[in-house]
Structure 1
Amino acid sequence: MTASKRVVHVISHTHWDREWYMPYEAHHVKLIETMDTLLDTFENDPEFRSFYLDGQTIILDDYLQVYPEKREIIARLCDEGKLSLGPWYILQDEFLTSSEANVRNLQIGHNDARKFGPISKLGYFPDSFGNMGQAAQLLRQAGIDTAVFGRGVKATGFNNRVEDTAGLESPYSELIWQAPDGSSVLGILFANWYNNGMEIPVDPALAKPYWEHRLARAEQYASTPHLLLMNGCDHQPIQTNLSEALRVARELFPDYEFIHSNFDDYKQALHADKPSSLSLTQGELRGQKTDGWYSLVNTASARVYIKQLNQRNQTLLEKIAEPLSTLAYQLGKTYPHGLLQYAWKTLMQNHPHDSICGCSVDEVYQEMKTRFAKSMEVGKALISESATFIAEKVDTTPFASFGPDAAPLIVFNTSGYEGSSVVTTEVEWSHRYFDQSENPVAIAKQVGDRTFAEGYLVDADGKRVAFSAEDLGVRFGYDLPKDKFRQPYMARALRLTFETGSLPSMGYGSFAWIPSRAGDSIESTAKESLITGDWTLENRHLRLSVEADGSYSLYDKNSRQLFLDLGHYENVGDIGNEYIFKQPISDVALTTKGSRPEIRIVEDTPFRAAIEIVHRLAIPAGADDRLDGEIRTMVEFRERKAGRSDELVPLLIVTRLSLDREGKGVHAHARIENQSKDHRLRVLLPTDIMADTHFADSIFEVAQRKNIPEKEWENPSNCQHMQAFIDVHDDLRGFTVAGKGLNEYEVLQDGRSTIALTLLRAVGELGDWGVFQTPEAQCLGTNEAEWLLLPYAGEAERFEAYREAYRYPVPLTVIGASVHEGELPPVHDFLKWNGEQLAFSSLKVNEERGDRMARWYNLSSSDIHLALHPDASTGAYISTILEDNSQDLVSNTIEVAPYKIITIGLPSISK
């Protein structure tokens, strides 16, 4: 250590949970009070040097919403270095928000901070419930070399109050944190939490023991003479007498230098004095060397419905609205930067850790559902406009030969991966527009008299396509032209379901509904079926057989591997809280094994078949009466003695298993009618793969994790996070399970490597520091869950399975069109690329330069070549997640290093 004195860096802050144990607006009022006090303190105390705004710019959005006239004061304080702003828009949960949501969070945080002054270049993760493995790479690409975090590295005691160094992953608060690609940052653990310098006494009699304790704890874990004391906590009011408190400290402890510091000065001092022997920590920080209770992973299953809404919203923006807007922009349409940012900001207001984790009071989730709806309505409007714009440029004249009533459909795939899907859409034809002087009833009859619901479907080559149809009759609709008043109409409508065949990875295919006319004869086609037995579905890839108890087997024809006993449901009690699952002592799991459900075929078409399984279980109505008293008196969950009630109520689970003709996986959908409280429901999927590790989709990586926890782990549950899928494989046999908004799984230590996927967790309290009842977290009523089962031939085929898993949650976009000439062919791919073991992440437009920005990441430990079609790669350059213009020009073949996130700038011809 080079300094002659130990330097005590006191950093003022308040950790601002935007909503948590109170609804947003209640917290908002407190924020206004806090910010007013902060501005007054800056004004009246010249020794109050700086304040850290919790790493998130939304604090200023919320403040200036009430006091917009104070914007100039804020900007001046930022310019003077007194207020430190950014780098994030919000403090998210890293594992429950998508890869692109984490990037947009940095992008928007940087852009908003830049409007006020310098950007805080600090990777700030004070209270994340574990940290993503690729954080160092993301931060480095954003020009950030230091990160601070409060969880994920072994510590002892509640909220990481470390009392000894035995067995720690690092003997110091400081360590080197490395991402899978080799990027690294200086990591700083809040070993004594981010409140270790809060409420510093002014009275010398109180200040002396305060500082003796706090300094000793900070010194115990500091690798340099620079000691970090965080002057604040959750929603902590400003310490307005801090300057006086520091003067008292200097008098009491002259051997220390006390400064009212900031993170820029503190990290600069750390980098200058840090030893060369700091520990190296790699990848995810998930608290695996703790006792396992306070890793808080079970927030992944609290209020599953919120996670499902989030998955839909994220997918809508990053995988549909942005790509379609980019394709339309490429053809000359203005890119909707402002509306997309508004939609993203509205979505990300649901991403703070206490919000998206499901660990807040009920009022928070009532407002979150509204935010999701607002964001998705904007996204849907942008999707419709972009798809319509593109469709108008598609040449649909090949359908003209089928007559004047042909109704073209343009089907867009924006997942980034080629593939076939079964799509359901609605088609209208024979539109009759009308005005207020006309009788809508007569017009509806006119349209009905001249049209029929019969007809057939053709593809771009004019070949018949198998379909199923539901007659929707004549219905009302309207257009909103850009140049005149709204245009109401009546039209004939039909709901069509059909298989698309292979669609381009970032493009579309064309189809047309050919309605029949009076006297037409419809050519019949031979009936085909995927049903090959009473309860057996089969295509060229797979065979699915349902057993009498509702479980099922799955045979992979490629690998010749058979998976047995899939799909049993497991129900257990839960006397924990929104943060932590706790099964009652002596509770025995209830399962559907050996049951006698109703089983029936519910769909039989040439392109898809489905089986429905109806389970009716009797389960306890909730916990017994002891739980209520234990919650009210704050009995710690590990000490609770409550069991499950003797009263039984029905649990109805309706499972639909479907297989597409070209499908490489089995689609599962469960409708769960929940009348019970205090319990957890999982689906069990034995893999019979003997492996020590498994793989889970996470943030810009498929993370490899151990099946057996560390020796320090005491929690009987070893649940973990996933984004899109969980995978277990060996050299010959592999099994991937993808989900839609299902973020919690466990690989059981049952000798069969069973994947247990959590579908529902019902609890009645928030948990943490007080008593907050959350009756809506019991999730009573109808719940739904969707997942995809993908067997494959082991290690060599796993990346193909991953592509199917990534494609699975991205719906196709279908837009109706007229028969017209156009500059685009009936089938087209806008962004052709190849790269085995690469995952596609996003396609959008940079606001500053107008370039298209496309992002991929390497899932493997090998160098992989990304090959872009020459038409798409002219003038291409390598950028970063912040989309800077490096002008490092590349050819149409780019080498992507192991685990690297690569962003390619593609200049647009429409600029």
Structure 2
Amino acid sequence: MTKPQVHVISHTHWDREWYMPYEKHHFRLVRLLDSVLDLLDRDEHFRSFHLDGQTIIVDDYLQVRPEQRERITRFIREGRLIIGPWYVLQDEFLTSAEANVRNLQIGHREASALGRVAKVGYFPDSFGNMGQAPQLLAQAGIRVAVFGRGVRPKGKHARADASSYESPYSEMVWESPDGTRVLGVLFANWYNNGMEIPVDAGQARAYWDKRLANAEKYASTSQLLLMNGCDHQPVQEDLTAALQTARELYPNYEFVHSNFVDYCEMLVHATPDDLTVIAGELRSQGTDGWGTLVNTASARVYLKQANERIQSYLEKVVEPLAAISHLSGYAYPHAELAYAWKTLMQNHPHDSICGCSVDEVHREMMTRFAKAEAMAQAIAEDSLKELAVKIDTSAFGTRAGSFPFIVFNTAGRERSGVLSVDLEVDKRPLLVPTPEEAATNVSLYQPLPQNMAAELEKLDITGFGVFDLDGNRIDAEIADLGVQFGYMLPDHGFRQPYMSRRIRVKLSVGPVPALGCKSYALAPIEEQDLQVGTEPKSLVTGPCRMANGHLAVDIAPNGTIELTHLSTGRVYRNLLTFEDTGDIGNEYMFMQPPGVQPLYSDGLKAEIKLVEDLPCTASYEIVHEWEIPANADSLLDKERQYLVAFPLRKCGRANNTVSLKLRTLVTLDADARELKFRVRFDNQATDHRLRVLFPTAIAGTQHHADSIFEIASRNTQPSAGWKNPSYTQHQHAFVAIDDDASGLAVANRGLNEYEVLRDGQGTIALTLLRAVGELGDWGHFPTPEAQCLGEHTAEFALIPYAGESSRHNAATIAYGFQTPWTVMQKEVGKGRYPGEYAWLDWEGEALALSSFKISAETGDLVARWFNTSRTPTALRILSADGAEAAYKTTILEEAVPLEVRHALPCVMQIRPAEIITAAFVRR
């Protein structure tokens, strides 16, 4: 009989920052890897060390120890240091689908460059696992996923219910919504079940009796996994001696100092046929709900908002603009984009983006966000500068004094919208070369006359209008911004400061083609234009009322909204009620004080004021003045200090109050199918949660949320064993409830937490702020900055739609809500591309485009879609700029040998929930 093999894997789980700031963890990392490298050199029996599945550990080490590069790469090539497949160990639900892909791509690229990538889907400490992970991993050539949360192990002799996310074994089959399967391995005894193995025989016997029994309780095979390490755990330097003791004590077991690559290879060939199949997202649905860590989605909401803004900008604006510019002949900024992504992803580890670290960590994160955003802006500006000379605006040459501007829609679908554009209508150099400079080429300057500003202010803008390519006058609001300073940085010359007269134009644009542009111009109004657009237009239909062709809005005296979807006739009432409740939990978990009821704004009288009434848009401001408890009562401080578990706390809310003024701007655009909201408030209360409620009055057992490469359908009612009164969950772009005839989606920008209340009204609760004062977890770590005192802004939108069959249409609007418009001003002139143009023309029912970029691996243009539905569909690629054929590639965007090339136009069949990446062969 074959002996059971005990795979002892040496590792450390390395949180870059958490209960200490980054540099203190960094210091300990350097010490750790110094000792690991020395141990690998002196002990040939210490076979390998697992670097936690993330390549950034090597970057961080070499930042301090650059002289160790050759040594560390040698051990990676030899398979003794195991790295990859990720760049960082991210939180999967708080980073976008494309951010998860970039993490995988950069991790593979950097691990391969260092010598070898470990093809193991490693998720040791993720706060839940994305349902599409098996599909992503399989496309990357990875057959096994290893994770620590999401499924409850029952033991091989216990009955398990797959519908409750239970498994008798630590091994199971994990299936994505598209049907892709990988072998899943759960750390049923956590990832520290083999730490600190004793050398002493007496201690070792007690140790191994327990550890082996626990491993065998869940293992479906004779391959037993023992993880020799834990969070920030130093390497066990006497492990060779400890394993020799184990071999002597337990001759019926084979003890192997192993690694994940070898262990997974053995496991794949040994697993039985009766493994449980676990489908989709793993969010600890089968637990009591107290340990899900889901409320990290609302800890320090400002982090989530910054992350959404920058990752959306990178993937939905910067990469498409850079790709478009590259198609016209400009170099693609691979290195700069990788730097921007890596800087952003340094904020994506679970203890970072989740907002569950000490205050110093999150202060440093804001600096990283700023660095990533500045680099992204620079890339976009450079791409636009190159594109400026490539787009034809000569059609505006028939109007003297025209100032053309080009609107780019880098979203995946054609769309319209209202936007503001700042234009320079007169520009004069601030400094001019002196005669000495002209003769000597020395940068000496003399200032222009002091009356420059007065001359610039003479320009009369009252006679200007906005026109499209066909000469039609567009309704627009024109405002004077006065004289302002600016500068240019030529590619081949010294900086050029100037002063300019600037104009702000607010107009409705569209439809603008997907991944395309449309040109407009500010120009003097001529006599034949005076009769155009003279009829007064307004979306305001009465006091506190607005309507366009799709939606009608009524605002009640208490500030709630009645929204009518005109095409279906469905009316949604009592929308926009604010809820405030105490929170005596921590950065990980929300806890409402026992016996304390929430407060609601619908009993207040609101101040309602019309603030904008234009042909293209209308806005009301709703102001609530609200007195809320200032903080929790004094018992909370003692309960925190004495480490009272948050579900057992007894404290309540204080009697003293502070004012919370909520200023809500409600905006309806002329052709919009969504109603937009912007809420501003100054939070001066602590220990509380603020949400906004939207009762849909749609009954149903399920709702739908935008998740990683899917619209996930989730149960509104938790499992039978759920004890936590709260049932909050993650989202990205939106959450929606629908039936056969109607539906309502709530879109957002960086508001990742929602709950569908079990109130019989199908109410969607969107979290705007959660203010707490401690980290939580294993000790007492005060986090006063997690109280989020100060000014906040939250943006969201309501999207009514015609039921389940139109859910993907609502998704398209929600994705567009997170995609900024881009505008570029240029002079009248010829260009390679017409003034209205699309660089990719495609069609596909229920498909969502998530990426348009140039592959770092092949240099080909690539585009990625995912099927938002659970039915097959077809992708029709009509054209791609300069391309003659397309082929399917993997999520890593690598060349695929023998892959069929489809001449354009072409049709590709897409499975339900499939992620499809197409690469284009150019002429």
TM-score by length of 1: 0.97
1:344-423 aligned at under 5 Å gives the runs 344-403=341-400, 405-423=401-419
Among 870, 874, 879, the residue aligned to 1:861:
870
Moved more, 867-876 or 381-390: 867-876
Report if the CA contact (8 A) 1:430-1:451 is conserved. Answer: no
Corresponding residue for residue 118 of structure 2? 120
In the TM superposition, residue 907 of structure 1 has moved relative to its aligned partner by 2.2
Among 310, 313, 319, the residue aligned to 2:310:
313
Name the aligned partner's letter for residue 661 of structure 1. Answer: A
In the TM superposition, residue 451 of structure 1 has moved relative to its aligned partner by 4.9
Name the aligned partner's letter for residue 412 of structure 1. Answer: F
1:594-605 aligned at under 5 Å gives the runs 594-605=603-614
Among 890, 897, 901, the residue aligned to 2:902:
890
1:545 aligns with 2:541: no
What is the DSSP-based 3-state SS (H/G/I as helix, E as strand, rest coil) of the residue aligned with 2:404? strand
Corresponding residue for residue 319 of structure 2? 322
Name the aligned partner's letter for residue 421 of structure 1. Answer: G
Report if the CA contact (8 A) 2:737-2:744 is conserved. Answer: yes
Corresponding residue for residue 465 of structure 1? 474
What is the DSSP-based 3-state SS (H/G/I as helix, E as strand, rest coil) of the residue aligned with 1:877? strand
In the TM superposition, residue 664 of structure 1 has moved relative to its aligned partner by 0.2
Among 140, 143, 146, the residue aligned to 1:142:
140
Name the aligned partner's letter for residue 572 of structure 1. Answer: T
2: CA distance, partners of 1:32 / 1:225: 36
Corresponding residue for residue 646 of structure 1? 655
Corresponding residue for residue 9 of structure 1? 7
In the TM superposition, residue 880 of structure 1 has moved relative to its aligned partner by 0.8
1:806-845 aligned at under 5 Å gives the runs 806-845=815-854
In the TM superposition, residue 521 of structure 1 has moved relative to its aligned partner by 8.7
Moved more, 535-544 or 888-897: 888-897
1:469-509: per-residue Cα shift (whole Å, max 9, x none)? Answer: 32111111111111111111111101221111211111111
1: CA distance, partners of 2:531 / 2:71: 74
2: CA distance, partners of 1:522 / 1:72: 75
Corresponding residue for residue 229 of structure 2? 232
Corresponding residue for residue 18 of structure 2? 20
1: CA distance, partners of 2:283 / 2:243: 36
Corresponding residue for residue 915 of structure 2? 901
Name the aligned partner's letter for residue 97 of structure 2. Answer: S
Name the aligned partner's letter for residue 679 of structure 1. Answer: H
Corresponding residue for residue 283 of structure 1? 280
Corresponding residue for residue 90 of structure 1? 88
Corresponding residue for residue 878 of structure 1? 888
Name the aligned partner's letter for residue 893 of structure 1. Answer: V
2: CA distance, partners of 1:756 / 1:356: 22
What is the DSSP-based 3-state SS (H/G/I as helix, E as strand, rest coil) of the residue aligned with 2:512? coil
In the TM superposition, residue 847 of structure 1 has moved relative to its aligned partner by 2.2
1:341 aligns with 2:351: no
Report if the CA contact (8 A) 2:801-2:810 is conserved. Answer: yes
What is the DSSP-based 3-state SS (H/G/I as helix, E as strand, rest coil) of the residue aligned with 1:840? strand
2: CA distance, partners of 1:670 / 1:820: 42
Corresponding residue for residue 259 of structure 1? 256
1: CA distance, partners of 2:157 / 2:732: 34
1: CA distance, partners of 2:423 / 2:617: 20
1:246-295: per-residue Cα shift (whole Å, max 9, x none)? Answer: 11111111111111111111111111211111110000001111001111
What is the DSSP-based 3-state SS (H/G/I as helix, E as strand, rest coil) of the residue aligned with 2:446? coil
1:784-799 aligned at under 5 Å gives the runs 784-799=793-808
Report if the CA contact (8 A) 1:453-1:516 is conserved. Answer: no
Among 710, 721, 725, the residue aligned to 2:730:
721
1:571-610 aligned at under 5 Å gives the runs 571-610=580-619
1:18-52: per-residue Cα shift (whole Å, max 9, x none)? Answer: 00011111110010000001011111111110111
In the TM superposition, residue 164 of structure 1 has moved relative to its aligned partner by 7.5
Corresponding residue for residue 103 of structure 2? 105
Name the aligned partner's letter for residue 861 of structure 1. Answer: R
Q: Report percent identity of matched pairs.
A: 51
Among 617, 620, 624, the residue aligned to 2:626:
617
Report if the CA contact (8 A) 2:153-2:170 is conserved. Answer: no
Report if the CA contact (8 A) 1:20-1:360 is conserved. Answer: yes
What is the DSSP-based 3-state SS (H/G/I as helix, E as strand, rest coil) of the residue aligned with 2:773? coil
Change (3 A) 1:471 1:138: same
Name the aligned partner's letter for residue 31 of structure 1. Answer: L
2: CA distance, partners of 1:672 / 1:332: 47
Change (3 A) 1:524 1:282: closer
2: CA distance, partners of 1:243 / 1:370: 44
2: CA distance, partners of 1:685 / 1:524: 37
In the TM superposition, residue 454 of structure 1 has moved relative to its aligned partner by 4.8
5+ unaligned residues in a row in structure 2: which ranges?
A: 433-444
What is the DSSP-based 3-state SS (H/G/I as helix, E as strand, rest coil) of the residue aligned with 2:396? helix
In the TM superposition, residue 535 of structure 1 has moved relative to its aligned partner by 0.4
Corresponding residue for residue 217 of structure 1? 214
Moved more, 681-690 or 792-801: 792-801
Report if the CA contact (8 A) 1:430-1:491 is conserved. Answer: yes
2: CA distance, partners of 1:685 / 1:379: 35
In the TM superposition, residue 525 of structure 1 has moved relative to its aligned partner by 2.2
1: CA distance, partners of 2:657 / 2:817: 37
1:52 aligns with 2:50: yes
1:495 aligns with 2:507: no
Report if the CA contact (8 A) 2:50-2:82 is conserved. Answer: yes
Name the aligned partner's letter for residue 587 of structure 2. Answer: E
The alignment yields a C-alpha RMSD, in angstroms, of 1.7
TM-score by length of 2: 0.96
In the TM superposition, residue 446 of structure 1 has moved relative to its aligned partner by 2.4
1:507-526 aligned at under 5 Å gives the runs 507-515=516-524, 525-526=534-535
Name the aligned partner's letter for residue 901 of structure 2. Answer: L
Name the aligned partner's letter for residue 423 of structure 1. Answer: L
Among 15, 20, 32, the residue aligned to 1:34:
32
1:239-258 aligned at under 5 Å gives the runs 239-258=236-255
1: CA distance, partners of 2:887 / 2:510: 34
What is the DSSP-based 3-state SS (H/G/I as helix, E as strand, rest coil) of the residue aligned with 1:874? strand
What is the DSSP-based 3-state SS (H/G/I as helix, E as strand, rest coil) of the residue aligned with 1:60? helix
Report if the CA contact (8 A) 2:842-2:879 is conserved. Answer: no
Report if the CA contact (8 A) 1:154-1:288 is conserved. Answer: no
Report if the CA contact (8 A) 1:23-1:361 is conserved. Answer: yes
Report if the CA contact (8 A) 2:857-2:894 is conserved. Answer: no
1: CA distance, partners of 2:449 / 2:576: 51
2: CA distance, partners of 1:165 / 1:895: 40
1: CA distance, partners of 2:478 / 2:362: 38
What is the DSSP-based 3-state SS (H/G/I as helix, E as strand, rest coil) of the residue aligned with 1:489? strand
What is the DSSP-based 3-state SS (H/G/I as helix, E as strand, rest coil) of the residue aligned with 1:907? strand
Moved more, 683-692 or 858-867: 858-867
5+ unaligned residues in a row in structure 1: which ranges?
A: none
2: CA distance, partners of 1:643 / 1:777: 19
Report if the CA contact (8 A) 1:734-1:793 is conserved. Answer: yes
2: CA distance, partners of 1:674 / 1:705: 32
What is the DSSP-based 3-state SS (H/G/I as helix, E as strand, rest coil) of the residue aligned with 2:413? coil
1: CA distance, partners of 2:530 / 2:863: 49
2: CA distance, partners of 1:709 / 1:450: 65
2: CA distance, partners of 1:714 / 1:155: 19
In the TM superposition, residue 207 of structure 1 has moved relative to its aligned partner by 1.2
2: CA distance, partners of 1:440 / 1:367: 45
What is the DSSP-based 3-state SS (H/G/I as helix, E as strand, rest coil) of the residue aligned with 1:412? strand
Report if the CA contact (8 A) 1:139-1:145 is conserved. Answer: yes
1:474 aligns with 2:471: no
1:502-549: per-residue Cα shift (whole Å, max 9, x none)? Answer: 11111111111125799x999872221000010011000000100111
Change (3 A) 1:512 1:256: same
What is the DSSP-based 3-state SS (H/G/I as helix, E as strand, rest coil) of the residue aligned with 1:254? coil
Name the aligned partner's letter for residue 382 of structure 2. Answer: E
1:754 aligns with 2:750: no
